A and B are shown apart, each in its own frame.
With several copies, the nearest count.
Chain A
Amino acid sequence: MKDLKTPGRPWTSSPSARALGALVAVLLLGALFNAEGAFFKWGTHRDMLRAVSVFGILACGMTGVIISGGIDLSVGSILALASVTFSLLTIHWHWAAPWAVLACLGVGMACGLCSGALVAKAKMQPFIATLAMMVFARGLAKWVTGGEKISQAVKQSDGTFAYVDLPPLFKWIDSRILYDNISVVTLVFLTCLLLCWVLLNKLRAGRYIYAVGGNEEAARLSGVPVGLIRIVTYGVSGLCCAVAGMCQACQEYQGDPEAGAGYELSAIAMVVIGGTSLNGGKGSIWLTLIGVLTIGYLDKILSINAVGEDKRLMLTGIIVVAAVLLQKSRR
């Protein structure tokens, strides 16, 4: 076994190096079209990070689901549900923040576990199970709020509105720390990222997630509790949605039952652009981070240059393709 050394593959062929290449290409684009230097200000990057955090949190949970071979279309709706629940509990019902946070996490996780159970126990295709959850959770969010936004303006019995104070947590989450250099939501995102990294790379459950995504039958025969692992991945995704929903509520100062529409595609895109395969079994949370940054910067660059809607969409399509092709060509 003398030949069991680590292989001398060129580092450029590793997935992360390739994904990084795409990110660097987008950054170069930013440096080129810097909107009169705006791209070189830290504030621009800080704002980009803030804007992308909610998506990033969703993408963290999505990464586990996708590695396990599933997909979660319900993230946007669960986000909305969590955001209205949180606003309702804290603004209208005046719950203390810790309890409200716990309740929200519970709601998000319950939804995730529910999708997970449909996939794992009832053997539904993940696409259908989470699509159903997507529709259901959106309906629930609308039903809970009666179709209105949960904001500081609280309707009184006589039909007028009274303005109540926002709980301090809202302000805090929406603020920036470290001498205004980083948004709190970005830190929340980084924390989620770290936790998911621990789950996927350091814990036994993480190894099982990769195994289930790689070959479900072989994993089952090796004693991996496949059903449980699937349920866990969706549960974690639900948790991430709840966190993202609360962040969204804090940043919008309200709970909007229409929030997060279409976020599922963005979150999946971020995971997949990093290089994680939708076939499952491969990928990593770092690739997701790179994907999140790539999309985030792309958006930001187009935005600071005030590119018109039509051209912005066309450019997004073209640049995404170019970035992914760049990843491939180095293989």
Chain B
Amino acid sequence: AKKAEQDGLTIGMSQCNLGEPWRVQMNADIQQAASTHPEIKVIFKDAQNDTLKQRAQVEEFISAGVDLIIISPKEAAPLTPVVAQAYAKGIPVIVLDRRVLGDQYTCFIGADNVKIGRAAGQWLVTHLDPGAKLVELKGLMTSTPGQDRHTGFMEGIKDANLNIIFEADMKWLEANARKEMESALARFDRIDAVYAHNDPGAHGAYLAAKAVGRESAIKFIGIDALPQEGQVYVEQGILAASFEYPTGGQEAIDTALKILKGESVPKEITLSSRIYEAKP
């Protein structure tokens, strides 16, 4: 904080990986938000989907003496100690998107995947007739978002008479989603809706259906609603709906500024999610 007076404030941002468009977007949002505040400088580091690398990066931030750390952790448990270590050294830590354990951090900002999954389920319940047949294209099922989006969805359609007739792991990838959807289409003559855990997945499924001329009979819904992805698809009528999973980049910078100014911030900020729907 002493050197802050001369050369501004340094924020260290540790992103768990940059292989997903959503995370690229998160970094872009942070950059965008920070660019309106010339006094702060954000150092981005990317952990290449490796928990231990991310841990090393936080250690580097601590020893470099940054003024605040934003971390979007890959895993809760293994990154808890290092976050706590920074917090104990008096560096404020904002945890973005995924949680860490305990309360040794300054603020958590994130959306709730279970809630979003539930919203997707409920949306289908209201837009489909009872007895409709669904395909679920899951993200990587070993990842928390994949599990949560599945759990929430199942809660959302719990009481309705909807059947999931085909489910497959598409590992967040459009090419896989298309391949799996082709299999589903070959097997089932009637499919009413496809729920994919992300928008590229839904898009891949749409392309598969379109290739056999069945796209108009099926409602495709996805999650994330990035401006250049899900929102486009919805606008073009490819997807029936996309559920925003906000990155929280803007909020993170806002909160960071408050913290650095000494204002108090809530321990937990839950981001609200918007639904993008195609015009009928």
Residue numbers of A with Cβ under 8 A of B are: 35-36, 38, 41, 43-44, 47, 50-51, 54, 142, 145, 147-149, 151-153, 155, 159-161, 163, 174, 176, 248, 251-254, 256-259, 261, 299-300, 303-304, 306, 308-309, 312
B237 to chain A, nearest CB (A): 12
Q: Which residues of A contact B49 (CB under 8 A)?
A: 261
Contact status B211-A176, CB under 8 Å: yes
By beta carbon, the residue of chain A nearest B32 is A159
Contact status B232-A51, CB under 8 Å: no
A68 to chain B, nearest CB (A): 29
A94 to chain B, nearest CB (A): 18
Q: Which residues of A contact B143 (CB under 8 A)?
A: 258
B266 within 8 A of A: no
User: In whole angstroms, how far apart are the Cα atoms of A155 and B140 in the complex?
Assistant: 20
User: In whole angstroms, how far apart are the Cα atoms of A300 and B24 in the complex?
Assistant: 22
**Which of B175, B187, B208, B212 has most A Cβ within 10 Å?**
B187
Q: Which residues of A contact B59 (CB under 8 A)?
A: 43, 47
Residue numbers of B with Cβ under 8 A of A are: 18-21, 24, 27-28, 32, 43-46, 49, 51-53, 55-57, 59-60, 63-64, 75-78, 80, 101, 140-143, 147, 166-169, 174-175, 178-180, 182-187, 203-204, 207-208, 211-212, 227-229, 231-232, 235-236
Contact status B235-A306, CB under 8 Å: no
User: In whole angstroms, how far apart are the Cα atoms of A47 and B54 in the complex?
Assistant: 12
User: In whole angstroms, how far apart are the Cα atoms of A248 and B101 in the complex?
Assistant: 19
User: In whole angstroms, how far apart are the Cα atoms of A54 and B51 in the complex?
Assistant: 12
Supplied contacts A38-B64, A50-B56, A253-B77, 4 more A-B pairs, CB within 8 Å: A152-B232, A163-B235, A252-B78, A303-B53
By beta carbon, the residue of chain B nearest A54 is B52
Contact status A251-B228, CB under 8 Å: no
User: In whole angstroms, how far apart are the Cα atoms of A194 and B78 in the complex?
Assistant: 29
A17 to chain B, nearest CB (A): 30
Q: List 18 A-B contacts (CB under 8 A).
A: A35-B64, A51-B56, A51-B175, A54-B175, A149-B228, A151-B77, A152-B77, A152-B232, A153-B229, A251-B207, A252-B78, A256-B174, A258-B20, A259-B175, A261-B19, A303-B168, A308-B46, A312-B46
Contact status B77-A51, CB under 8 Å: no
Q: Which residues of B contact A38 (CB under 8 A)?
A: 60, 63-64, 183, 186-187
Contact status B77-A254, CB under 8 Å: yes
Contact status B45-A306, CB under 8 Å: yes
**Which of A51, A155, A254 has most B Cβ within 10 Å?**
A51
By beta carbon, the residue of chain B nearest A39 is B186
Task: Identify which of A36, A47, A176 contacts B64 (C-beta below 8 A).
Answer: A36
Q: Which residues of B contact A309 (CB under 8 A)?
A: 18, 46, 141, 168-169
User: In whole angstroms, how far apart are the Cα atoms of A147 and B144 in the complex?
Assistant: 10
Q: Which residues of B contact A149 (CB under 8 A)?
A: 21, 75, 142, 228-229
Q: Which residues of B contact A35 (CB under 8 A)?
A: 64, 183, 186-187
Q: Which residues of B contact A151 (CB under 8 A)?
A: 76-77, 228-229, 232
B182 to chain A, nearest CB (A): 4
- A252 and B141 in contact (CB under 8 A), knowing A43-B186, A309-B18? no
User: In whole angstroms, how far apart are the Cα atoms of A145 and B52 in the complex?
Assistant: 21
Q: Which residues of A contact B19 (CB under 8 A)?
A: 258, 261
B145 to chain A, nearest CB (A): 13
Contact status B18-A36, CB under 8 Å: no
Q: Which residues of B contact A306 (CB under 8 A)?
A: 43-45, 166-168, 183-184
User: In whole angstroms, how far apart are the Cα atoms of A261 and B176 in the complex?
Assistant: 12
Q: Which residues of B contact A304 (CB under 8 A)?
A: 60, 64, 183, 186-187
Q: Which residues of A contact B78 (CB under 8 A)?
A: 251-254
Q: Which residues of A contact B51 (CB under 8 A)?
A: 251-252, 256
Task: Identify which of A155, A161, A174, A303 contacts B56 (C-beta below 8 A).
Answer: A303
Q: Which residues of B contact A44 (CB under 8 A)?
A: 60, 63, 182-183, 186
Q: Which residues of A contact B21 (CB under 8 A)?
A: 148-149
By beta carbon, the residue of chain A nearest B43 is A306
Contact status A47-B182, CB under 8 Å: yes
Contact status A148-B64, CB under 8 Å: no
**Which of A54, A248, A300, A309 has most B Cβ within 10 Å?**
A309
B76 to chain A, nearest CB (A): 8
Q: Which residues of B contact A159 (CB under 8 A)?
A: 32
User: In whole angstroms, how far apart are the Cα atoms of A282 and B55 in the complex?
Assistant: 36
User: In whole angstroms, how far apart are the Cα atoms of A265 and B66 in the complex?
Assistant: 34
- A51 and B236 in contact (CB under 8 A), knowing A148-B21, A252-B52? no
Contact status A251-B52, CB under 8 Å: yes
